[in-house]
């Protein structure tokens, strides 16, 4: 019963619409998939319709961008009430700030002779999309400056780049509180994925656990075997469950659906802990 609890659609920086992500999940033989776009619920309706049709169960979620003193933290939030105003307000703020931040990054790049304009970046995303560096990467691919998103990230778009600009994001402890207040279940995404930037130390995760964190995404391709083991041990010490997921972004990354999975037991815990009234969409099966 493969369960993959972390994917992205064109509502953020995935390359496929959310109904196509669900169709791909069906093709990949998943029984359950979670849609977790960065800072938006915009992909939920199309994914819900597709899940019902295609025989895949859908966990509606979101990946909340957070910042702990400048260090980026991603918090997966499952089965949240999309109308809960506290969390919604923070997501809106982060999305707005991401737009200004893209403008600023493009300005710095263009001033250095890199062939990219704000219009070209906007053209890579539909209306209401959560904008991110991958959309700048797509514009650089379109103009022939680089061949792939990954190539853009190894140089001009990486965290330490002279063109890097941060955006507003709530601190992770507050985000955990807001997810719980929205009836959702907070799980820290790829906690030790330090390949592309700094990660927080365990004391921050301890404070998140005190605030209501439910789990750690231990099994993720950006973790080494040692980091997975550490995540499993830390979770056990803090009374958290662990998940495994692909972090699928369509053609935007190599991550394949189902490459890491979560146990049915943990999915049951997520459902038990959710108080939002947002249920797992159960698909009728033939």
Give min distance, CB of 283 to ligand AMP, in A: 27
- The C-alpha R_g of the chain, in whole angstroms, comes to 18
H or E stretch covering 210: helix 202-211
CA 47, 48, 54, 56 dihedral sign is positive
Select the residue interacting with Zn ion from 3, 32, 247, 258 (CB under 5 A).
247
Binding mask 62-101 for Fe ion (x = CB under 5 A): ------------x---------------------------
Least separation in angstroms between CB 48 and Fe ion: 21
- Choose from ligand AMP, Fe ion, Zn ion, none: what does 122 bind? Cβ within 5-8 Å by kind: none
Residue with tokens 């991550």: 255
CB 255 within 8 A of CB 246: yes
Residue 8 contacts residue 247 (beta carbons within 8 Å): yes
Q: How many CB atoms lie within 10 A of CB 236?
A: 12
* Largest interatomic CA distance in the chain: 58
| Minimum CB–partner distance for residue 89 and ligand AMP (Å) | 19
**Tokens 């995540």 correspond to what residue?**
231
* Beta carbons of 248 and 257 less than 8 angstroms apart: yes
For the sheet containing 32-35, what is the strand order?
Answer: 3-4, 32-35, 57-68, 71-78, 185-188, 215-219, 241-244
Comparison of 143 and 159: residue with beta carbon closer to Zn ion: 159
The distance from CA 283 to its chain's CA centroid, rounded to whole angstroms, is 23
Q: Examine residue 189 and tell whether it contacts Fe ion (CB under 5 A).
A: yes
Interface region with Zn ion, contact rule CB under 5 A, candidates 26-34, 116-124, 138-146, 247-255: 247-255
Residue 44 or 153: which CB sits closer to Fe ion?
153
CB of 8 to ligand AMP, least distance (A): 7
- Residue recorded with tokens 């972004």: 249
Are the C-beta atoms of residues 132 and 99 closer than 8 Å to each other? Answer: no
Give the one entry of Fe ion, ligand AMP, Zn ion, none that residue 153 binds, where binding means its C-beta sits below a cut-off of 5 to 8 angstroms depending on kind.
ligand AMP
Provide the minimum distance between the beta carbon of 264 and ligand AMP in the complex, in angstroms, as a whole number.
27
For binding to ligand AMP (CB under 6 A), which residues are involved?
Answer: 13, 38, 132-134, 149-150, 153, 196, 249, 252-253
Side-chain half-sphere exposure of 87, counting CA atoms within 13 A? 34
Distance in Å, CB of 49 to ligand AMP, minimum: 25
Report the residue closest to ligand AMP, judged by CB. Answer: 132
Q: Tokens 């959710």 — which residue?
A: 274
Compare residues 23 and 64 and give the one whose CB is closer to Fe ion. Answer: 64
- Whichever of 38 and 180 has its CB closer to ligand AMP, that residue is 38
The stretch near Fe ion (CB under 5 A) out of 13-21, 167-175, 221-229, 233-241 is 13-21
| Interaction site with Fe ion (CB under 5 A) | 13, 74, 189
| Interaction site with Zn ion (CB under 5 A) | 63, 247
């Amino acid at each position: 019963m493969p369960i993959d609890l972390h994917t992205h659609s064109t509502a953020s920086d995935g390359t496929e619409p959310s109904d196509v992500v669900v169709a791909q999940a069906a093709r990949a033989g998943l029984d359950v998939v979670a849609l977790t776009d960065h800072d938006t619920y915009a992909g939920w309706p199309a994914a819900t319709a597709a899940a019902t049709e295609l025989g895949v169960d859908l966990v509606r979620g979101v990946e909340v961008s957070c910042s702990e003193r400048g260090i980026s933290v991603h918090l997966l939030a499952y089965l949240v009430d999309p109308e809960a105003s506290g969390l919604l307000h923070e997501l809106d703020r982060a999305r707005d700030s991401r737009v200004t931040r893209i403008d600023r990054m493009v300005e710095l790049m263009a001033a250095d002779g890199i062939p990219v304009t704000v219009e070209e970046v906007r053209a890579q995303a539909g209306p209401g999309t959560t904008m991110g560096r991958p959309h700048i990467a797509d514009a650089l691919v379109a103009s022939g400056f680089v061949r792939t998103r990954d190539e853009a990230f190894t140089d001009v778009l990486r965290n330490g780049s002279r063109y890097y600009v941060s955006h507003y994001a709530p601190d992770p402890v507050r985000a955990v509180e807001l997810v719980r207040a929205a009836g959702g279940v907070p799980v820290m995404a790829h906690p030790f994925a330090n390949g592309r930037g700094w990660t927080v130390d365990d004391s921050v995760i301890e404070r998140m656990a005190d605030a209501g964190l439910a789990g750690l995404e231990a099994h993720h391709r950006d973790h080494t075997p040692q980091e997975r083991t550490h995540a499993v041990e830390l979770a056990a010490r803090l009374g958290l469950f662990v998940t495994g997921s692909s972090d699928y972004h369509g053609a935007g990354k190599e991550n394949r659906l189902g490459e890491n999975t979560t146990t049915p037991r943990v999915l049951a815990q997520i459902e038990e802990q959710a108080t939002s009234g947002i249920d797992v969409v159960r698909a009728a099966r033939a």
